């Protein structure tokens, strides 16, 4: 398989799972893969390296959350990649966990056990069709709306506090 010039950081506290994800990524042609066991290590790696995609476990040891890292990545002035794609990986598929991840600013959600085809699809999704980014007072990340505007929609806004959508821009702000 052709090698892809993509760098990935995996935030996963389980060594075997990190190795499995690395093997899957290598099989997809991604050779530049780094790992971190905790949020602080992931932040440190981001301060010293540039990554194209992040794979983040939602629940880490010690009741820490990979979503804390996602919020840092999106909102911190120190982050070098606030708009980089983030795929959250979780053993839990409850609606509340998915919503929590979306509200933290993730692009995609992947449930364990991992299948290479599912990981490939999520990577393709974040690489081929990025959603616009939204900035509000407490959120910065991909627009959480996934459904297109209905054909029979006649108003200028989908919600009263929406800005006019500009097709050429990757980011817009809401008050």
Q: What are 89-101's pLDDT values in tens digits?
A: 999 999 999 999 9
Residue 86 lies in a domain: yes
15: nearest Cα among 82, 49, 61, 68: 61
Residue 122 lies in a domain: yes
Residue 163 lies in a domain: no
Total structural domains in the chain?
1
Range of the domain at 56: 4-129
Residue 136 lies in a domain: no
pTM: 0.82
Residue 175 lies in a domain: no
Q: Is the pLDDT of residue 109 over 70?
A: yes
The domain that contains 118 carries what CATH number? 3.40.50.2300
Residue 147 lies in a domain: no
Q: What are 31-43's pLDDT values in tens digits?
A: 999 999 999 999 9
- Bridge-based pairing of strands 133-135 and 171-173 is parallel
């Amino acid at each position: 398989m052709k090698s892809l010039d993509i760098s990935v950081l995996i935030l996963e506290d389980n060594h075997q799972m990190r190795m499995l994800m690395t093997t899957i990524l290598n099989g997809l042609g991604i050779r530049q893969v780094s790992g971190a066991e905790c949020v602080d290590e992931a932040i440190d790696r981001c301060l010293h390296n540039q990554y194209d995609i992040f794979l983040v476990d939602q629940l880490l040891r010690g009741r820490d959350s990979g979503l804390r890292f996602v919020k840092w990545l999106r909102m911190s002035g120190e982050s070098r990649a606030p708009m980089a794609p983030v795929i959250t990986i979780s053993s839990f598929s409850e609606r509340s966990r998915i919503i929590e991840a979306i509200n933290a600013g993730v692009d995609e959600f992947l449930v364990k056990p991992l299948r290479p085809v599912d990981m490939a699809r999520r990577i393709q999704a974040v690489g081929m069709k990025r959603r616009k980014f939204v900035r509000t007072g407490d959120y910065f990340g991909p627009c959480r709306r996934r459904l297109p505007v209905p054909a029979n929609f006649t108003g200028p806004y989908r919600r009263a506090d929406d800005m006019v959508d500009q097709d050429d821009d990757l980011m817009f702000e809401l008050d």
